[in-house]
Amino acid sequence: MTRPLDHAIQDWLDTIADTRSVETHRTYSYAMRGFLAWLARQGSLPTLDGLTMALLRSYVDYLLRQRLADRTRQQYVDVLCRWITALVEGGELVGIPNDRGRLVAPAAVRDQLERKLPRREPAVAPRIPDLRRLPAYYPDQLEQFLRTRGGAIPTPDDARAWRAYLNLLRNHALITTLFSTGGRVNEVLRLDVAQIVRHGLIMDSV
């Protein structure tokens, strides 16, 4: 007999807690608890062997009836599919049985569920040449700023120049960190020097 779904979900959330930002983990927890709440309203919380494509499709149908943004529905389905992938990779499931009893792999589960959702317009990406120039933009601005001052770094006594200099340094550090780590903007903004520097040296990982 396989584990109850609520235990499997909580174990997964506990496992990924140290590998996700607080905000991301909170989103995952909220999404999965919403799934559990929906299951409870159906009258029972099945074990893992009761997880079927029919059940998952019914949940997506429920999401479609709620007054939710398309992005929110997509997010809930994405988190659910991530959990299913983890179960298969961890050996607890081989796949999700469809109406004919055949096992559906995680990628196909995602594809079938996402096909039920409203089609999303692709995001407009920035032009590649501009994106490639972005990491060099603030170093160039810093160099130009200092050149106009004969190479002299401003002091706090010159409030306007000092503020401009600090802004350039901050933006340069932000863009460099984003491009170097692949982190999200909110994750990088929450970084503290104490998290990345030990004994005057930058750590290899945070």
Q: How far apart are CA 95 and CA 103, in angstroms?
A: 5
Q: How far apart are CA 67 and CA 78, in angstroms?
A: 18
Helix, strand counts (H, E) of the chain: 9, 4
Lowest mean pLDDT of 60-74, 136-150, 178-192, name the range: 178-192
Is the per-residue pLDDT at 205 higher than 60?
no
Q: Which of 41-45, 96-100, 124-128 has the largest mean confidence? A: 96-100
Backbone torsions φ then ψ of 104, nearest 5 degrees: -105, 130
For residues 144-169, average pLDDT:
84
Q: Which structure tokens are listed for 138? A: 């603030």
DSSP class of residue 49 equals G
Confidence at residue 49, expressed as pLDDT on a 0 to 100 scale: 86
Check if the beta carbon of residue 165 is closer than 8 Å to that of residue 145. yes
pLDDT tens-digit map of 7-25: 999 999 999 988 888 888 9
Q: Which of 40-49, 71-80, 123-132 has the largest mean confidence? A: 71-80
Check if the beta carbon of residue 116 is closer than 8 Å to that of residue 70. no
Q: Work out the pLDDT band at 56, boundaries 50, 70, 90.
A: very high
CA distances from 43 to 20, 37, 40, 144, 148 (A): 32, 10, 5, 68, 72
Q: What pTM was computed for the model?
A: 0.58
Q: Which structure tokens are listed for 191? A: 């970084």
Backbone torsions φ then ψ of 28, nearest 5 degrees: -60, -45
3-state DSSP assignment of residue 202: strand
Nearest Cα neighbor of 117 from 172, 62, 160 is 62
For residues 31-46, average pLDDT:
89
For residues 160-165, average pLDDT:
84
Neighbour-count burial for 51-78, b at 16+ CB within 10 Å, e otherwise: bbbebbeebbeebeeeeeeeeebbbbbb
